[in-house]
Amino acid sequence: MNRRRRTTTARKSRRTTTWNARPTGTTRRFNTNSRTKNWTPVEINTLKKIYRTNSNVSIAKKLGRTEGSVQYKASSLGLRKSAQYLKQIRNNWA
């Protein structure tokens, strides 16, 4: 849970408030102790090339990721399946 810690400093007659104060010289680190894996540029390029004509399951197996992560990343990149691929899926459904 991310809670904001309020710290107050008093200077002579002025009082200032800072949020999420941390010691000087320290930086925030992201994606530490997390289950997620960052996407590499090679993986993103591969996804862009094969997303239109392949299923999310096959792409996930190829990239070593989950189907949901492939779907989410494609959505965030604005990728869409091709009309021909979707038509083929609809015809094979019955």
Rounded Cα–Cα distance for residues 12 and 59 (Å): 62
Query: CA 94 to CA 91: how far, in whole Å?
Result: 6
Residue 17 forms beta bridges with which residues? 8
Q: How far apart are alpha carbons 15 and 12 in whole angstroms?
A: 8
Q: What is the rounded distance in angstroms from the CA atom of residue 56 to the CA atom of residue 54?
A: 7
Averaged pLDDT, groups of 10, the chain, 94 residues long: 62 55 61 77 97 97 96 97 94 82
Amino acid 19: pLDDT: 57
Residue pair 44/73 in contact (Cβ under 8 Å)? The answer is yes
Query: Could you give all domains of the chain from N- to C-terminal order, each with its CATH number?
Result: 36-94 (1.10.10)
